[in-house]
Amino acid sequence: MSAQLSAVKLTSTQSVDPVEIAKTLAVEFAKTAPDYDKTGEFSHPNFQALFESGLLGLVTAAEQGGWGEGLEKAQAVISTIASGDPSTALILAMHYSVHFAVKRGKWPAALASKVLTANVDGLALINNAQAEPGMGSPAHGGRPETVARIEDGHWIVSGRKSFVTGLPGLKWAIVLALTEEEAPRLVQLLVPLDAKGISYVKAWEAAGMYGTASHDLVLENVRVPLGDLVAEQPASEPLRRDEADGHNFFTLLPAVYQGVALSARNDLLKHLNGHAPSSLGAPLSSIPRIQEGLGQIEVLLATNRRLLTSLARDVDRGTPVGTDALAVRHVVIDNAVSVTDLALELGGNRGLRRDYGLERHHRDAITARAHAPQNHMIRTTLGKAAINAATK
């Protein structure tokens, strides 16, 4: 680990703004982000640095060894980290989403204690494992092919999960499975990823966010204690989603891509201020058309920042936000893609070069559109809600 990363090792008892810590880390993460984009390897040094800085426990309650911060601070940290390495930020956002659920008392006490204790003592990343090659995302409906049966006081779990973000670095995955019972249940089990029968297939070959290492998790007769049950419901019902969990996730996810857009803006400015063609005799940034384009980028970034901050603040205060979280997610991600589009256009031919970063930021931004529920599903949901409200 570099001296710069080691220097930000802090504890939650210190009166230090975690966003400032994130800024220091982001500068370092940005140096290796192009390498992880090429190799697709999991960024172990980044997460060791996040652990040592205390930021893995950002949303964990103070009495449980964390910072006790809410969604407003969390989304600011995520955007900041994403401005250095968005793949690292997406994995961290997933980790925070689970920890928010634990913090709100939605988990059985024993499981919550197990996860939080491990998170304080060492690097203990956690994420959900729900999507499958055949089913896709549970958001589209359908039952999982991953199955769980009860045998000798344990769950025996077998199946394959897709798009498990950060898989090589996770300590646990929350696995969605269908029980082999007369009246099947959908269960979510806390599965340790060092258990016998666990393996993964390097299936993540996406154009962007390659460093998330979102590979397929394979489970072959994995034994899980009966008590490690996070949630259950009848399989005859659609998968239940907690509204508060959705508000957290629909804020943290677009915050990642706001960070991508910030990187695109910053790298574009370096290029425009640093390149002075002989035919112009001045930096490219002196051209009025370029200045107008930069102004449009600033409008989009400011809109995103205001939307994310306002939404997170309302959630932290307990103010009902309804479907606004979905709308904000839609707008922020679209704006982030637009920023990277503009950056490529304003960057000209040099903007397509890998060493300028703009094409990487664009690839990362458009990857956001693959997250379920996709924008067309969000628009349909909001449209139906408007129709129902008008007919009451």
Instruction: Please name the helix (run of DSSP H) or strand (run of DSSP E) that holds residue 71, with its range, or none.
Output: helix 71-84
Q: Distance (Å, rounded) from C-alpha 387 to C-alpha 368?
A: 28
Domains of the chain, earliest start first? 9-123 (1.10.540.10), 128-234 (2.40.110.10), 243-390 (1.20.140.10)
Q: Is 22 strand, coil or helix?
A: helix
Q: Distance (Å, rounded) from C-alpha 174 to C-alpha 148?
A: 13
Cβ(258)–Cβ(88) under 8 Å?
no
Q: Distance (Å, rounded) from C-alpha 377 to C-alpha 91?
A: 24
Cβ(96)–Cβ(251) under 8 Å?
no
375: which 2 tokens?
Answer: 């924008």
Q: What is the pLDDT along the chain (392 residues), one digit of tens a residue?
A: 443 443 344 444 457 899 999 999 999 999 999 999 999 999 999 999 999 999 999 999 888 889 999 999 999 999 999 999 999 999 999 999 999 999 988 899 999 999 998 988 899 999 999 999 988 778 777 799 999 999 999 999 999 999 999 999 999 999 999 999 999 999 999 999 999 999 999 999 999 999 999 999 999 999 999 999 999 999 999 898 889 999 999 999 999 999 999 999 999 999 999 998 889 999 999 999 999 999 999 999 999 999 999 999 999 999 999 999 999 999 999 999 999 999 999 999 888 888 889 999 999 999 999 998 999 999 999 999 999 999 98
Q: Distance (Å, rounded) from C-alpha 200 to C-alpha 167?
A: 8
Burial (Cβ within 10 Å: 0-12, 13-18, ≥19) of residue 164? buried
How many C-beta atoms surround the C-beta of residue 234 within 10 A? 10
State phi, psi for 216 to the nearest 5 degrees. Answer: -90, 135
pTM: 0.94
Cβ(218)–Cβ(202) under 8 Å?
no
Q: What angle do CA 248, 74, 174 make, to 5 degrees?
A: 50
